[in-house]
Amino acid sequence: MKNSKAVIILSGGMDSVTTLALAKSQKFDCYAITFNYGQKSLSEIDAASYFSKKYSVIEHKIFNINFNDFTNSSLTNHKIAIKNEFSNTAIPETYVPMRNIIFLSIACSWAEKINSSNVFIGANAIDYSGYPDCREDFLYSYEKMINLGSKTGADGGKFHIHRPLVGMKKIDIIKTGKNLGLDYKKTISCYQATPDGKACGNCESCEFRKNAFIDNGLEDETVYI
């Protein structure tokens, strides 16, 4: 495939770093964007910077936006504790309303500036917390929408919202990363990781990650408190 530019939404977590590794393996010229949106786990931004350098991205932007100004989530509001009780049906308090809609829109805006029509997101709708903006039907609809409402689409081009992990279980995501030589130790998945990147081991994201290593028969590469 001929080299082409791609913008990668890079949080520094397991899924987004695997997505970056996949984009690089497909010979894309990668640009990474990381969002500092008021999340409790700021060490994930350091992880994103580390992997941007490791994978030689052309440019890494950190975009600042404070979701606490207009939303209420335990992922951003320090007055709301992150619960360690999980539900298979209810959308959890860690849900940040419209987060992926906003992230994708900003990523597509940058992509259009650099003459790219490829945006990668590590959204996953199998082993996940039930966020509605991580599902295939949302991402499919978003792709249609952005092509209707952008210069790229109006000029006859087409944005491609790449979501290579959307139908994968965490066990398969780890297998994919390992096949690409990915070391997950410096990735940050924990909702409340310490400033130096240590995971709590108790939140829902930690549970999904921990179980995926166990199910793969691999040593858990996560650094815990």
- Write the CB contacts of 84 (distance below 8 Å, at least 6 apart in sequence): 202, 203, 204
Q: What is the pLDDT of residue 96?
A: 94
Number of domains in the chain: 1
Residues of the chain with pLDDT under 50: 1
Confirm whether pTM is higher than 0.85.
Answer: yes
Q: What is the CATH number of the domain that holds 29?
A: 3.40.50.620
Q: Is residue 219 part of a domain?
A: no
For residue 122, give its domain range.
4-184
Is residue 213 in a domain? no
Residue 218: inside a domain: no
Q: Is residue 203 part of a domain?
A: no
- Is 204 contained in some domain? no
- How far apart are alpha carbons 125 and 35 in whole angstroms? 21
Q: Tell me the per-residue pLDDT of 92-124, one tens digit each, with 9 for 90 and over.
A: 899 999 999 999 999 999 999 999 999 999 999
- Give domain status of residue 194, yes or no: no
User: Does 223 reside within a domain?
Assistant: no
For the chain, helix, strand, coil in percent to 5 are 35, 15, 50
